[in-house]
């Protein structure tokens, strides 16, 4: 039997894979380009075309569940200083800390200089390794309603007329004391 992608002879058992929507019998090398399926996973459905008896197979795929992530924590503002101070307090070099948290040395340097900010996963690793607190719960700041500031500009004729009308109304409303 030959691979339907590259044409090589298949020495071991053939693999069925879906590559770009097509179900193919492929070798081990070519199976990496698609998703390996079993006969049960890929069952083509037949769809009639009008009065003809011809059928076109339609591939059915399982719908992937949507993952909703709610962000509840944020990185503190002075994380660069906290990381550097904690690392130096423990007597660790960039290389030592990088090995402890399974990250590159350059990442540690960039974190301490503020060139990058840590993801929540990296911040958690750093918290455990350095015994510090980098993540804080998100606080929703309620902004005070802002009153529009008076615009400083020159008066126009319309403004003067309105001012004149207001002053004449105030004079008629006032009663002598």
* Higher local confidence (pLDDT), 97 or 166: 97
State residue 131 phi and psi, 5-degree precision: 60, 50
Q: What pLDDT is recorded for position 54?
A: 55
Q: What pLDDT is recorded for position 99?
A: 93
Looking at the predicted structure, is the pLDDT value of residue 116 above 60?
A: yes
Return the H-helix or E-strand segment holding 17: strand 15-19
Of 52, 49, 4, 48, the residue nearest 29 (C-alpha): 4
pTM here is: 0.42
Q: What pLDDT is recorded for position 104?
A: 93
Q: What is the DSSP-derived secondary structure letter of residue 89?
A: H
CA distance 84 to 70: 29
Domain boundaries defined on the chain:
1-44, 73-137
* Higher local confidence (pLDDT), 166 or 75: 75
Lowest pLDDT segment from 26-40, 103-117, 145-159: 145-159
Q: Of the ranges 43-47, 73-77, 92-96, which is most confident?
A: 92-96
Looking at the predicted structure, is the pLDDT value of residue 148 above 60?
A: no
> What's the CATH number for 73-137?
1.10.260.40
Return the H-helix or E-strand segment holding 168: helix 157-173
Q: Of the ranges 28-37, 62-71, 110-119, which is most confident?
A: 110-119
What is the torsional sign of CA 100, 84, 91, 110? positive
Q: Which band of pLDDT confidence, cut at 50, 70 and 90, is reported for residue 177?
A: low
């Amino acid at each position: 039997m030959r691979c339907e992608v590259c044409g090589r002879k298949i020495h071991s058992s053939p693999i069925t894979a879906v590559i770009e929507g097509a179900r193919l019998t492929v070798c081990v090398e070519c199976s990496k380009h698609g998703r390996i399926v079993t006969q049960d996973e890929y069952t083509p459905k037949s769809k009639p075309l009008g009065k003809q008896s011809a059928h076109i197979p339609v591939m059915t795929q399982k719908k992937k569940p949507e993952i909703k992530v709610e962000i509840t924590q944020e990185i503190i503002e002075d994380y660069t200083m906290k990381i550097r101070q904690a690392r130096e307090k423990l007597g660790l070099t960039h290389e030592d800390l990088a090995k402890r948290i399974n990250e590159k040395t350059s990442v540690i340097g960039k974190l301490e200089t503020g060139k990058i900010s840590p993801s929540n996963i990296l911040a958690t690793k750093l918290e455990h390794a350095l015994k510090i607190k980098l993540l804080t719960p998100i606080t929703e700041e309620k902004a005070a309603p802002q009153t529009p500031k008076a615009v400083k500009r020159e008066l126009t004729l319309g403004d003067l007329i309105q001012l004149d009308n207001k002053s004449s109304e105030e004079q008629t409303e006032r009663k002598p004391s």
